[in-house]
Amino acid sequence: MNPTLRRALLFGPPALLGVVNLGHPILTPPIYRNVSPHLPWWGTLHLINLGLFTLTGFAVYLLLDEVHNVAATLSRLAIAVFIPLYAAFDALAGIGTGLLARLGSELPSSQIAVAESLIDRYWSSGTINSLAVAGSVAWVIALLAAAVAITSPERRRLATVAAVVVFLAGGWARSHLFIGPTRITPAWWLVTLAAAGVMFAVGRPGAIAALLTLAAFLFGATHVPPTGPLGAACFLLAALLLEFTLTSSLRDLPSETPTTRLEPSR
């Protein structure tokens, strides 16, 4: 791939994703009443996100296009799962809710209450929630696996163990400590920062491993502010560091050679 095009696809989508979603409304039930003031921006935003989620997933793939080991393969498989699942979630929760709200606004006032109830039930449906959870889990796995993949071979097993531990800790924290984007507990932030600290300590290069971990946890929690844009920014910074501080030849070293290591480019 042309280097200029590659870098545009690697850096552009996460940058745009972070900027666009700074303007993402945060909704709580009743959904119809809360989304109506944001129309038509709500629909436009999610049409844009439909493309940006896909392109950002492809950016994760490009990040490791010259890395060949088991962790890199796992990251590619996970991002291949993330893209369709999260795009489906965006289409249903974002575009679908916006369409229902617009159609509801055209109903007689006597029927608005029925529309409100239906939209609330649609928003909280098991299908939408399952897609959101599955897509987010796939994203977290892809980013943590990427952090392991770029780690130098002699530390990769330790990084794998650390990634599994922080994955489990992050899943527990997301279920028990992350109440929602409007009510993020300090304990969740502490777990997230601790996970990044662990990967910084065991990963090589540590800064990139930590940033990928932050990108995993922050965007994996939700794509709305503040975590979504912060997660996109962390991924973008990790990609910039990896692209401009490590040479392609060193990133393409055999995966299990114990005497090889990643060195900063000169």
Q: Is 189 contained in some domain?
A: yes
Q: Is 265 contained in some domain?
A: no
Inform me whether the pLDDT recorded for 14 exceeds 90: yes
Neighbours of 237 (CB within 10 A): 17
Q: Is 179 contained in some domain?
A: yes
Domain hosting residue 74, numbered range: 3-251
DSSP labels, 37-80 = GGTTHHHHHHHHHHHHHHHHHHHHHHHTTT--SHHHHHHHHHHH
Q: Is 261 contained in some domain?
A: no
pTM: 0.90
Distance CA(167)–CA(149), nearest Å, equals 15
Count: domains in the chain: 1
Q: Is 103 contained in some domain?
A: yes
Res. 262 pLDDT band, cuts 50 70 90: very low
pLDDT confidence of residue 241 = 94
Q: Which of 11-25, 97-111, 119-133, 150-164 has the lowest mean pLDDT?
A: 97-111
Q: Is 68 contained in some domain?
A: yes
Res. 34 pLDDT band, cuts 50 70 90: very high
How many residues does this entry show for the chain? 266
Pick from 21, 10, 14: nearest CA to 223: 21
Name which residue leads in pLDDT, 266 or 134: 134
Inform me whether the pLDDT recorded for 264 exceeds 60: no
Distance CA(91)–CA(88), nearest Å, equals 5
Q: What is the pLDDT of residues 200-249, one digit of tens each?
A: 999 989 999 999 999 999 999 999 999 999 999 999 999 999 998 864 43
Residue bearing tokens 């055999």: 254
Q: What is the pLDDT of residues 61-105, one digit of tens each?
A: 999 988 999 999 999 999 999 999 999 999 999 999 999 999 998
Q: Is 256 contained in some domain?
A: no
Q: How many Cα atoms within 13 Å fall on the side-chain side of residue 3?
A: 3
Q: Is 211 contained in some domain?
A: yes
